[in-house]
Amino acid sequence: MSDCLFCRIAATEIPATVVHETSRTLAFRDIAPQAPTHVLVIPRDHHLDVGSLAAADPALLAELMTAAVAVADKEALTGGYRLLTNTGDDAGQTVSHAHVHVLGGQPLGPLG
Ligand code: 5GP
Ligand code: ZN
């Protein structure tokens, strides 16, 4: 999708600081980090959100989560980390391409 921000990052049309990649996933630093480590992990293929990704390609959803854990390992988040995926308006999803936030590097506090 040429008008999708994360598809354009996956296509290297928009620069990003890549920290991990596999044949089907890409992980790069969030432009507005909410924690010392804040990485976004996306499928290279366009899927609206994790719900549609789960329905269309559950193996890819598993790869996405595996990649998120690999990012946490690479970033040495030995104190723990949070994997978060906003889905839809109530959750505040702002980019309509499925993604997992990897957050860590300090105590994150409770959700909400
Ligand atoms: P959401 O709000 O949809 O869960 O997460 C979207 C995330 O994308 C936000 O945390 C936001 O800071 C990040 N973001 C928005 N535009 C860009 C961009 O151009 N580059 C990068 N690296 N992150 C972005
Ligand atoms: Zn996309």
Where does the chain show beta strands of DSSP type E? 18-21, 25-29, 37-43, 81-84, 100-104
Q: Percent of the chain, pLDDT > 90?
A: 96
Phi and psi, residue 33, nearest 5°: -60, 140
Is 109 contained in some domain? no
State residue 88's pLDDT score.
96
Backbone angles phi, psi at 102, to 5 degrees: -110, 115
How many structural domains does the chain have? 1
pTM listed for this prediction: 0.98
Answer whether residue 50 is part of any domain.
Answer: yes
Separation of alpha carbons 17 and 7, rounded Å? 15
What's the 60 CA to ligand 2 centre distance in angstroms? 15
Of 20, 47, 97, 99, the active-site residue reads 99
- List the domain range (segments joined by +) for residue 43: 5-27+35-104
Atom of ligand 1 nearest to the CA of 33: 12
Tell me the per-residue pLDDT of 50-78, one tens digit each, with 9 for 90 and over.
Answer: 999 999 999 999 999 999 999 999 999 99
Residue 110 belongs to a domain:
no
18 lies in a domain? yes
Pocket around ligand 1 at a 6 A CB cut-off: 5, 16, 28-32, 40, 86, 92-95
Question: How far apart are the CA of 10 and the centre of ligand 2, in A?
Answer: 8
Instruction: For residue 112, tell me if it sits in a domain.
Output: no
Residue 37 CA to residue 14 CA, distance in Å, equals 21
Q: How far is CA 50 from CA 23, 42, 55, 64, in A?
A: 19, 10, 8, 10
- Rounded to whole angstroms, how far apart are CA atoms 9 and 52? 20
Is position 71 within any domain? yes
User: Is residue 38 flagged as an active site residue?
Assistant: no
How confident is the model over 6-15, as pLDDT tens digits?
999 999 999 9
CATH number at residue 92: 3.30.428.10
- The ligand placed nearest to the CA atom of residue 95 is 1
